[in-house]
Chains A and B, each alone.
Chain A
Amino acid sequence: MLDEPRNTQEQIYDSGIAKGAERLTPEKIQRVIQEMLAGEAGARLKTYVETCVHCGLCSEACHFYLSNDKDPRFSPAGKVKQTIAEMVRRKGVVSVDFMKKASEIASTECNLCKRCAMYCPFGIDVAFLMLFVRRICHKLGITPQYIQDTAHSHSATYNQMWVKDDEWIDSLQWQEDEAREEMPNLRIPLEKEGADFMYSVIGPEPKFRAQLIYQAAVIFNTAGLNWTMPATPGWDNSDMCMYTGDNDMMARIKKAHFETAMRLRVKKIVMGECGHAFRSIYDMGNRALGWRMPPVPTVHAIEFFYELLSTGKITVLRKYDKPVTIHDPCNVIRGRGLHEMLRYVAHAICEEVIEMHPNREHNFCCSAGGGVINCGPPWKMKRVNGNKVKAQQLFEAKSKGAVTCIAPCHNCHGGLEDIIHVNEIGMDLKFLGDIIYQVMEKPEQA
């Protein structure tokens, strides 16, 4: 059964996987897998693989399974069975073709959203298992090309977008210039030692979405906060190496980020609206460095906006008048439990909030944030079609009147935008910051 074609898109060509596989030999595969199983895998992997009783409770949790006509090969347990379980069972004696398929499954059929882990009676963390497969693929050099290329940018520049050092500083100064038009005394303080917090963003913000930095600056200045941004590498909190299984680079990137905050002697790091970066700083990167919790206290934008609104540091002039729905990003909701704060913020800034169902920690993933969207255009339709349940959820929210969808995460924006577009749902996507900037009370212009 495992040899039958999974679907018509099975033939998708990815040069990273294909070219990498040409260089592989069964001996190398066996050696790498055995090393990994004997070393990093430890008891955790053994326990997970041996504990699973194939009860199938995880299946209904997975949007890939639900969206692919409940094909068992897309169920979390099925994906484990086709990849790591088989590698363990055969002690690494698997073919090159097997590994190509394993790379595809781990990188493009699982978003590491951990929804299934909530439904597993034993708490088996399938995301850990799929990441372990990605790590083996990384060691074998068969990672999908697009995400590998982004990981290269991290390795070379410590940011996701090949942003040069002067380009970064210039983008901040430029946004300061622009925002001073609106708030003449506005500052985007650079390298201010001892500030209350360091604001960190992801690479695409200075590169393509400078407006988001502008908005954050207006919000922070209105609230009268003592903040700073770094002028050195280490400013970018994003991390694609985490998703390719390049754990060494993941650790280096996070080290640079934490050390930048420590050098600036800030009390905490405030992150922009990005989910995977939060996972990297709060969960995976810090642990790879040996820190159970981040060495510098770190809060996500949701938490920070909650603080600003609940303490009255920013006030709402007139609430956003279009009905909104909320998409709960897995990395900050299942990963950190910020769902009630997200609702507090949404209700504080919007007239009407229409919930999607299921929601909060039970929400379906956007199908992008686990690195799947970063595998690029070759995998786009597989990704979008693998999330028909999300389209259904969005459509239901729309039919109840929701016009705008709030998604406080960059990757969720990317994933949802494709889902909305392909399924012709016709919904606006916004960050919390977009709406806060629009509805907040700002100082009178001089």
Chain B
Amino acid sequence: MFKQILFATTGSPTCDGAANVAFDMAQKYNATLKVLHVYGFPSRGYSPFVVDVRTGDTESEHSDYVEWVREELQNTYSKQLQNKNPIVVEARVGVPHTEILRAARKDGADLIVMGAHTREDDVGATRFRGVVGSTMQKVARKARCPVLIVARPCMTCFWYFSNVIFATDFSKAADSAFMFAYKTAKEIGCKLHIFHAVDISALQVGREEHQTTIEEKVAQAKERIAKNYVARMEDFDNYDVAVWEGIPYVEILKFARERSGDIIVMAHHTREVDPEQAELGSTVEQVVLRAACPVASVNHPDKVAEDA
């Protein structure tokens, strides 16, 4: 299912949940795992010196220093590195999301695994947007492969998942998310829940909608699910369909909790304003922050198309 997995890590305990998932999955599917740590930010004026993200000190991009960072990483993950599948540990300098995307492209990664928060000392405030690494957002939107975001320790192994939740906004990107959700459910042999939330958040600003209008929208959504997704599943009947109404991210979270979702698969809701600029963040971000299970963001067909 996966041949090349990229685990992007801060190397801090914040990423331990993501680390476990990444190493386990790579081992299970005998995939090559690249552990990538962007250790330094470039300085103003772009000199060859960088600020180490963990120590805050100014360091050079010297090969000795890179080697030292690599060793540190190897110590951090020493237990997992005994796994039998091929593992490559890499440390580099740059703007994290740029380097993660660059590495994913170079290796042709089938999956990127990452944590959601960038700094361990921010844990107390994780629910505020300011501390969510925008790295995750940028990577999730642009990556050509699914991005699995693990914000909390994941208790169940991927291959023992029993409920895959696919949340759609019917965008083009959501087609790719569906393919990944469908393939995953089929591969693992578990149930696929196809879900859509009719957005009625306009109610909050006083734009009332008649109940029959809402019900019509719900019915339309069900039709679209049947046409867009159900029709594409061959001899796979372990699924259900649900359409609720409300604020999309809240409904997605409630639905996932009710169905004991092990993973939520979704695309970035494309009709929204640029998530970097949205004040409360995108639906994906809200779901990632609040969900108890990992969230996979899939926006491109490259690695999940039927023939991929």
Report yes or no: B44 in contact with A204, Cβ–Cβ below 8 A.
Answer: no
B83 at the interface (CB under 8 A from A): no
The interface residues of chain A lying within 8 Å CB-to-CB of B49 are 146, 149, 376-377
**How distant is the Cα of A146 from the Cα of B61 in the complex, in angstroms?**
13
B160 at the interface (CB under 8 A from A): no
**How distant is the Cα of A204 from the Cα of B43 in the complex, in angstroms?**
11
A273 at the interface (CB under 8 A from B): no
The interface residues of chain B lying within 8 Å CB-to-CB of A150 are 45-48
The interface residues of chain B lying within 8 Å CB-to-CB of A377 are 43, 49, 58
The count of residues in chain A whose C-beta lies closer than 8 Å to any C-beta of chain B is 33
The interface residues of chain B lying within 8 Å CB-to-CB of A375 are 45
Report yes or no: A153 in contact with B44, Cβ–Cβ below 8 A.
Answer: no
Report yes or no: B46 in contact with A208, Cβ–Cβ below 8 A.
Answer: yes
Q: Mark B106-140, 1 if CB is under 8 A from A, else 0.
A: 10000000000000000000000000000000000
A373 at the interface (CB under 8 A from B): yes
Query: CB-nearest residue of chain A relative to B102?
Result: A174
B1 at the interface (CB under 8 A from A): no
Known: A181-B300, A208-B95, A377-B58. A161 touches B46 (CB 8 A): yes
- Output the least CB separation between B214 and chain A (Å): 30
**How distant is the Cα of A418 from the Cα of B43 in the complex, in angstroms?**
11
**How distant is the Cα of A209 from the Cα of B42 in the complex, in angstroms?**
11
Report yes or no: A177 in contact with B105, Cβ–Cβ below 8 A.
Answer: yes
Q: Mark A356-397, 1 if CB is under 8 A from B, else 0.
A: 000000000000100001111100100000000000000000
The interface residues of chain A lying within 8 Å CB-to-CB of B46 are 150, 160-161, 203-204, 207-208, 374, 414
Residues 73-110 of B at the A interface (beta carbon under 8 Å): 94-95, 98, 101-102, 105-106
**How distant is the Cα of A208 from the Cα of B42 in the complex, in angstroms?**
8
- Output the least CB separation between B59 and chain A (Å): 11
- Output the least CB separation between A144 and chain B (Å): 10
The interface residues of chain B lying within 8 Å CB-to-CB of A170 are 106
Partner of A376, one of B43, B95, B106: B43
Q: Mark B37-71, 1 if CB is under 8 A from A, else 0.
A: 00000111111110000000010010000000000
**How distant is the Cα of A376 from the Cα of B102 in the complex, in angstroms?**
27
Known: A174-B102, A181-B300. A376 touches B94 (CB 8 A): no
- Output the least CB separation between B271 and chain A (Å): 14
A162 at the interface (CB under 8 A from B): yes
Report yes or no: A380 in contact with B48, Cβ–Cβ below 8 A.
Answer: no
A210 at the interface (CB under 8 A from B): yes
**How distant is the Cα of A415 from the Cα of B43 in the complex, in angstroms?**
12
B186 at the interface (CB under 8 A from A): no
Report yes or no: A146 in contact with B42, Cβ–Cβ below 8 A.
Answer: no
Query: CB-nearest residue of chain A relative to B46?
Result: A204
Report yes or no: B105 in contact with A376, Cβ–Cβ below 8 A.
Answer: no
Residues 199-225 of A at the B interface (beta carbon under 8 Å): 203-204, 207-211
B183 at the interface (CB under 8 A from A): no
The interface residues of chain A lying within 8 Å CB-to-CB of B95 are 208-209
Chain B interface residue bracket vs A: 10 to 19
Query: CB-nearest residue of chain A relative to B48?
Result: A149
Report yes or no: A149 in contact with B47, Cβ–Cβ below 8 A.
Answer: yes
Report yes or no: A376 in contact with B300, Cβ–Cβ below 8 A.
Answer: no
| B46, B49, B98 — most chain A CB neighbours (10 Å) | B46
Report yes or no: A208 in contact with B98, Cβ–Cβ below 8 A.
Answer: yes
A411 at the interface (CB under 8 A from B): yes
**How distant is the Cα of A144 from the Cα of B44 in the complex, in angstroms?**
15
The interface residues of chain A lying within 8 Å CB-to-CB of B98 are 208-211
The interface residues of chain B lying within 8 Å CB-to-CB of A146 are 43, 45, 47, 49
The interface residues of chain A lying within 8 Å CB-to-CB of B44 are 368, 373, 380, 414-415, 417-418
Residues 22-49 of B at the A interface (beta carbon under 8 Å): 42-49
The interface residues of chain A lying within 8 Å CB-to-CB of B142 are 178
Known: A170-B106, A208-B95. A376 touches B42 (CB 8 A): no
A270 at the interface (CB under 8 A from B): no
- Output the least CB separation between A360 and chain B (Å): 26
Query: CB-nearest residue of chain A relative to B172?
Result: A445
The interface residues of chain A lying within 8 Å CB-to-CB of B106 are 170
- Output the least CB separation between A85 and chain B (Å): 29
A147 at the interface (CB under 8 A from B): yes
Q: Mark B139-180, 1 if CB is under 8 A from A, else 0.
A: 000100000000000000000000000000000000000000
The interface residues of chain A lying within 8 Å CB-to-CB of B102 are 171, 174, 210
Known: A207-B94, A208-B94, A210-B98. A374 touches B105 (CB 8 A): no
Query: CB-nearest residue of chain A relative to B274?
Result: A438
The interface residues of chain B lying within 8 Å CB-to-CB of A178 are 142
**How distant is the Cα of A340 from the Cα of B210 in the complex, in angstroms?**
55
Report yes or no: B47 in contact with A368, Cβ–Cβ below 8 A.
Answer: no
The interface residues of chain B lying within 8 Å CB-to-CB of A211 are 98
**How distant is the Cα of A376 from the Cα of B42 in the complex, in angstroms?**
11
The interface residues of chain A lying within 8 Å CB-to-CB of B43 are 146, 376-377
Residues 185-239 of B at the A interface (beta carbon under 8 Å): none
Report yes or no: B94 in contact with A153, Cβ–Cβ below 8 A.
Answer: no
Report yes or no: A153 in contact with B48, Cβ–Cβ below 8 A.
Answer: yes
**How distant is the Cα of A177 from the Cα of B142 in the complex, in angstroms?**
11
- Output the least CB separation between B274 and chain A (Å): 9
The interface residues of chain B lying within 8 Å CB-to-CB of A208 are 42, 46, 94-95, 98
Partner of B45, one of A162, A181, A373: A373
Known: A170-B106, A178-B142, A204-B42. A147 touches B94 (CB 8 A): no
**How distant is the Cα of A10 from the Cα of B2 in the complex, in angstroms?**
58
Report yes or no: A411 in contact with B42, Cβ–Cβ below 8 A.
Answer: no
Query: CB-nearest residue of chain A relative to B94?
Result: A208
**How distant is the Cα of A411 from the Cα of B43 in the complex, in angstroms?**
12
- Output the least CB separation between A445 and chain B (Å): 10
Query: CB-nearest residue of chain A relative to B98?
Result: A210
**How distant is the Cα of A414 from the Cα of B300 in the complex, in angstroms?**
34
Q: Could you list 17 A-B pairs, sorted by A, with CB under 8 Å?
A: A146-B43, A150-B48, A153-B48, A174-B101, A203-B46, A207-B46, A208-B95, A209-B98, A210-B98, A368-B44, A374-B45, A374-B46, A375-B45, A377-B43, A377-B49, A380-B44, A415-B44
Residues of B within 8 A of A (CB): 42-49, 58, 61, 94-95, 98, 101-102, 105-106, 142, 300
Q: Top 9 A-B pairs ranked by shortest CB distance?
A: A373-B45, A414-B44, A146-B47, A374-B45, A204-B46, A149-B48, A376-B47, A208-B95, A208-B42
Q: Can you name 20 extra interface pairs (CB under 8 A) apart from A374-B46, A414-B44, A417-B44?
A: A146-B43, A146-B45, A147-B47, A149-B47, A150-B48, A162-B48, A162-B61, A170-B106, A174-B101, A174-B102, A178-B142, A207-B94, A208-B46, A208-B95, A210-B102, A368-B44, A376-B43, A376-B47, A414-B46, A418-B44
